[in-house]
Amino acid sequence: MKYYPTTIEYISIKIKHKFPQVKLTRTMKNIPGYLLWMMEELQSFSDKSKRARWIGWIIAHSEMLGLLSNKQSRKVIKLDVEKGKI
């Protein structure tokens, strides 16, 4: 099962649209690429609390980059929570 699939897909699309040259990276020097790496890495966590902390960090930084508003982030995360995909 993929965790937070709606949220991750939405943010990934927004990143790739705003930063078309973005490459996945493990370094925080490139936040958009780092967010892509985090979203991929998050899928390997068995700890639900850790996944929740990471998705919160991803959402917060996505909002700071102007990729989505707080209202939009609440809407997409709610869809995943309602489907039990957390």
Mean pLDDT for all residues in the chain:
96
Q: Is the dihedral of CA 71, 38, 15, 66 positive or negative?
A: positive
Q: What is the token pair recorded at 83?
A: 């489907």
Give the list of residues 6+ apart from residue 61 with CB closer than 8 angstroms, or none: 31, 35
Phi and psi (nearest 5°) for 24?
Answer: -60, 130
Model confidence over 67-77: pLDDT tens digits?
A: 999 999 999 99
Q: Quote the pTM value.
A: 0.94
Q: What is the model's pLDDT at position 1?
A: 76
Q: How far apart (Å, rounded) are the C-alpha atoms in residues 56 and 85?
A: 15
Q: What is the model's pLDDT at position 19?
A: 97
Residue closest to 7 by CA, chosen among 62, 65, 64: 62
Q: How much is the average pLDDT of 27-31?
A: 94
Q: How much is the average pLDDT of 9-20?
A: 97
